[in-house]
A and B are shown apart, each in its own frame.
Chain A
Amino acid sequence: MVTYNKIILRSILLASYIGVVALIIFGISSVFAYLNTGADRSTLLHTEVKKIDQYLPKVIWEPLNNEGRVMDMQTLNAIEKDYLSALYLKHIAYKNNITIGLDDYYTESARENLYRTIATNNAERIVIEATTLAHHPKLDFFSEDGQLAVITDKNVIEYKRIYKNNVLVFETTEEATYKIVVLLEDGFWRIRHIVAQDIHEHIEKTIETPKINTTIKGINYYPKDTPWDMYTSNFDEHIIAKDFEIIKNAGLNTIRLFVPYKTFGKANLIPEKLEKLQCVLDIAEANKLNVVLTLFDFYGDYSVLNWTLNQRYAETIVSRFKNHKAIYAWDIKNEPDLDFNSRGKTMVIAWLKQMLILIKTIDNNHPVTIGWSSAEAAPILKNYVDFVSFHYYKDIANLATTFNTLKQTITDKPIVISEFGLSSYKGLWNPFGNSPTTQANYHKNVQKILKKNNIPFLSWTLYDYKNIPRAVVGKLPWKRHKQKHYGFIDTDGVKKPSFQFITN
C-alpha cells in the first residue's frame, strides 16, 4: 500500500515537474516569438498589392499637355489611385468625424485643415456624407524629379448629405473645380494643397425622353428550376430558349429580367456573367422579345460611399448592352420603396435619382423606369423616368381606379404595370388559399381591365417554382409557399388554367 502511494506521489511530482518545465519553455518561447515579430521592413516601401475597389468615381483625364517632365501612364495611375484614396478617406473622415488614415494621403500641413473641420463638425454634431461622382482632371505640371505634380480637377460632381444631431438637414449636388498639389512622400502621392477655384450648385442637363413603344404585353421571367439564380452554374440556354418560345407563342412581346448585383461581381463585373446575360438577350432577340432589364437585384445598401461602385456596375452593363436589339428599357431597381423604412426614403430616392441621371447619360435611346412596389410610390421621380412602372398585387376591383388616379398625376408619361399576379397556393400553410381555377379567373378579369384601359403589362410569372432562395421572401414557410405558386405553368411544366389568360 505504501509503495503504491509512493509511486503515485512520485509520478505526480514527475508530471508536475515536466509540466512546470513545459510551461517555462512555452513562456520563454512566447516572449522570444513576440520579440521577433514586428513590421516587415519591406512594408516601408508600400509595395504590397492591396487594391480593393472601394471608390470608383468616373475619372476622365484631359489629354496630357503638362509643363515640366513628360508624364508616364504608370505614374499617372499611381497619382489617380492615391488621389481617389485621399478623397475616399476624407469622405469617411467627415462621415464619422474621425481622422483615421488621413495621414497617409495628406501632408502634415494639409491634414491640419481637415482636422480643424472635423473638430468643428464633431463639436457641433454635424455629419457629412459625401461622394464624388465624376472627375475631369488635367495635369498642369509634373516636376523634373517626378516628385511633385499639380492637377486641376475640373467639374467635380459632388453629392453631399448634411446631418445635424442625426437629422438630415440638407442634401446638395455641387460642381467644383480644384487645384491640387500632390507630393510623392513615403511612396504615397500626398495632397499638399487644395484650392477650390469654383464651387456652385450642379444643375443637371435635361435629356430628352426617347420614343417609347407602349404596346407592352409581357411577363416577368425566371427559369423554372433556378428562380432568382439564373446566371450561376445552373445556367442552361436550351431551357431559356424553350421558355422564350413558349412566351412568344403565347402572344407576348416583352419579358422582364433581373440582373443580380453581387452575383455579377459588383463594380468589377465578371465577364462570364456578362456572357450569360448576352446569351439570354440573344435568345430574346431571336424570339423577337423585348427585354426590360432590371439592374441591382438583391442590392439594398444605398449608402453614399458605395455609389461610385454602384455606378460603375450600371455603367458597365448599360454601355455593353445599350446597342443590343433585345433591350427595351432599363428598370433601375425592383421595388426600392420597400427599402424606405430601413434605409431612409431620402437616401433611396437620392440614389435612384443619381442612377437615373447616369444611365440616361450613357444610353439616351432606351427608356428608364423604376419598378415601384405600389401605385402610391409611383409618382416619385416621375420627372426623371421615361415611363412609370408599378406592381399591383391588391384587389383587382380597384385596379382600374388605381391606374386612372395615377394617370391624373402622371399625365405626360406612359404607365406600365410591371408585376401582378395571384398565387394558386392552397395547402398546409394557407388552407383557404386560391385554387388554380381562381387564379385563372383572376387573370381573365385582369386582362379584361388591362385591355379596356389599354394598360401595358408584365405579369408575374411564367412558372411555379420548387425552391425559392431565402433572400427573396425570407424564412417564413407561408410566404415561401405562396411565392412558389404564382406561375402560369406548374413545376411539372403543365400549363395551368390561367395560361389561356396570359395576354389579351
Chain B
Amino acid sequence: MKAKFIHITLICHLLSITAIAQIGLNPNAITILNTKNDFTAGDTIALRFTLPKGTKPNLYCTNSYGSTLISPSIKNQTLVYTLPKHISNKSGSIYWKLISHETSLSGQFNIRSKPNVASIETYIGPPSVQAGQNDYTMAVVIPTDTLDNPLNTNTKVTVKHQFLDTVVNATVINNNIIAYSNITSKQKSGRILISSEVLGKNSKEFTVDVLPSLPTNFTIGYNQNHSYADGNQITTFFTSTLKDRYGNTVIDGTYVTFFVRNKAGAVLKTFGTTINGVAKSEMLHPSNPESWTVKAFVNGMAESNTITLNYKEAIKTFNVHFSKNNRTITVGPLKSFMKQLIPDGLQVVAFVYKHNTLVHKYNGASKQGLVTFNLKKDLIKNDTYNIKIQVAGLEKTFNAKILW
C-alpha cells in the first residue's frame, strides 16, 4: 500500500515538474500577479502581470459604459496596466482581456461604490393624493457617491414625512439601485412634507398635497325675489357645503349640475362650480305658471335632495285690440301681480288659423306692457280667420275675424 502511495506521489511530482518546465519553456507566458478582485470606486486600479520576453500586449477593458484599450508600462519587472480614471471611477463589473496571441488571459472584477453619499436624488410622485388612506404617493431615492455611482445594495435609506402633528420615519433598503417608500394619504386634506436621509446626509424637502376625497351627498336650496312666473326675475340655486366622507371641504371648482324638470317633463340644466364647497347657479323665472323639481349632481360622485318650486301666474288677464282693418293686433297693457306693467320682454304669441289650419305664427316680446302685431297683406290675404293669442300661459281666441 505504501509503495503504491510513493509511486503515485512520484508520478505527481514528475507531472508537476513537466508542467513547470513547460511554463519555463515559453518565455512569452504571462501570469497575473493581482490577487484582489474587489475594488472601491476612485481607487487607483492597476493590473500587474509577469513581464514577457516578447511584445508587450495591450489590455482590453470594458465596464458599464464603454470599452477601451490600455497600453502597458513596466515597473519592477512587471507589466502594469493602470485603468483610466473614467473606468476605475465607475462602480460595476469590469471585464478585461490581454490582447496577446501567445496567452489567453482574461478576468473579471468588481468595483464597489464609495461608502459615502454625495447626493440624494429624490423623485416623488404623484404630487397630489386623495385624502382617505387609500391613495398614496411614492418617494424614490437614488443615493449616489461623490463619483455619481449609485450606492451599494442594502444601504439603509430613511424616508421621513410630516403631516400635521405626526412625523414618520420609514427605513427602507436600497435595492435595484433605488430605494422607495410609499406614503399613504391621511384622512385630513393638507400637505405632507417629505425628505430622506442616507448615511447621515439629508435631502431637501419635498411637498405632496393631500386633496379632499370625493364629495358625499349634499342638499340644495334656492333664493328668489318673488315666486311669480314673470319671465324676468332670477332664481338662484345653491348647494350646502360639499364635503368628502372625512369632512374635508371639496376642492374649489368641483362641477355641480342642477337638473330642473318642469310640469311638461322637459329638463332644464344649469351649472355651477364650488367655491369653499358651495356651488351656485341661476335660472330665469318661467313666464308661465310652473312647478319645477330640482336635483343637483356632481357627476358620478354625489347627488342632492330634490326640491320643488312653484311659480304663480303673474298676469291674471289681458286685453286684445284689433284695428286698421283688423290687421293690427295690440295686446295689453299687460299687468303683473301688483297691476304694474310687466317688465319688457314677456313673450306673446299670435296664431292665425284658416279652418283650423295654421296660416302663420307671430312671436312678439312686450315693451312697456304692450305687444303689437301687424298682419301684412302679402302674408295674410283678405279673408276670414280665427286668431289665437297666448300670454303667460293664458290664451284668447277670436273667431271669424274678417281682414280686409
Interface residues of A (CB under 8 A from B): 67-68, 90, 94, 109, 112-114, 116-118, 120-121, 124, 126, 128, 130, 140-141, 143-148, 150, 152, 160, 162, 164, 169-170, 172, 174, 176, 178-179, 181, 183, 192-201
Contact = CB atoms under 8 A, between A and B. Distances in A.
Interface stretch (B60-68, B160-168, B327-335): B60-68
Interface in B34-78: 58, 60, 62-69, 71
Nearest to A94: B66
Contacts of A178: 64
A198 B66 CA distance: 14
A188 to B, nearest CB: 16
Contact of A200 (B90, B95, B99): B95
B106 interface: yes
Given A160-B67, A196-B92, A169 B178 contact: no
Nearest to A66: B176
B341 interface: no
Contact of A194 (B64, B106, B176): B64
A113 B178 contact: no
Which range holds the interface residue count of chain B? 35 or more
B210 to A, nearest CB: 15
A130 B178 CA distance: 29
B138 A143 contact: yes
A197 B66 contact: no
28 contacts: A94-B66, A94-B67, A112-B148, A116-B86, A117-B67, A118-B66, A124-B68, A130-B67, A143-B125, A144-B136, A144-B138, A145-B123, A145-B137, A145-B138, A146-B125, A148-B123, A148-B140, A150-B177, A160-B62, A170-B69, A176-B95, A183-B123, A193-B142, A194-B65, A195-B177, A199-B63, A199-B95, A201-B106
B150 A181 contact: yes
A130 B62 CA distance: 12
Interface string B85-106: 1110011111101010000001
B65 A113 contact: yes
A181 B178 contact: yes
B231 to A, nearest CB: 49
Contacts of B87: 117
A114 B65 contact: yes
B182 A144 contact: yes
Nearest to B87: A117
B86 A109 contact: no
Contact of B180 (A90, A116, A141, A176): A141
Contacts of A109: 148
B108 interface: yes
Contacts of A197: 92-93
A198 B108 contact: yes
Contacts of A194: 64-65, 92
Given A144-B138, A160-B62, A199-B63, 20 more contacts: A94-B66, A112-B148, A114-B65, A121-B66, A126-B68, A130-B67, A141-B180, A144-B125, A144-B182, A145-B123, A145-B137, A145-B138, A162-B69, A164-B69, A169-B99, A170-B97, A193-B150, A193-B177, A194-B64, A199-B95
A192 to B, nearest CB: 7
Name the 10 nearest CB pairs between A and B, nearest first. A145-B125, A144-B138, A117-B66, A116-B86, A199-B95, A196-B92, A196-B93, A196-B64, A195-B92, A113-B65
B126 interface: yes
B84 interface: yes
A179 to B, nearest CB: 6
B99 A68 contact: no
Contact of B68 (A120, A147, A200): A120
B176 A179 contact: yes
A145 B58 CA distance: 47
Contact of A169 (B69, B84, B90): B69
Nearest to A115: B86
Given A145-B125, A199-B95, A169 B138 contact: no
Contact of B66 (A128, A150, A181): A128
Q: At the interface, is chain B mostly helix, strand, loop or mixed?
A: strand
Interface in B242-286: none
Contacts of B85: 116
A170 B177 contact: no
B62 A199 contact: yes
Contacts of A117: 65-68, 86-87
A152 B175 CA distance: 12
Contacts of A145: 123-127, 137-138
Contacts of A201: 95, 97, 106
A156 to B, nearest CB: 11
A59 B180 CA distance: 28
Contacts of A200: 95, 108
B66 A170 contact: no
B176 A140 contact: yes
Contacts of B137: 144-145
Nearest to A128: B67
Contacts of B150: 181, 193, 195
B45 to A, nearest CB: 15
A114 B126 contact: no
A406 to B, nearest CB: 27
A141 B180 CA distance: 10
Contact of B178 (A90, A141, A160): A141
A121 B87 CA distance: 12
A193 B126 CA distance: 22
B318 to A, nearest CB: 62
Contacts of A116: 85-86
A192 B142 CA distance: 10
A94 B65 CA distance: 11
Interface in B286-305: none
Contacts of A193: 142, 150, 177
Contacts of B123: 143, 145, 147-148, 183
B158 to A, nearest CB: 19
A120 B84 contact: yes
A128 B65 CA distance: 13
Nearest to B147: A113
B180 A198 contact: no
A162 B60 contact: yes
A179 B93 CA distance: 11
Nearest to B135: A144
A124 B176 CA distance: 35
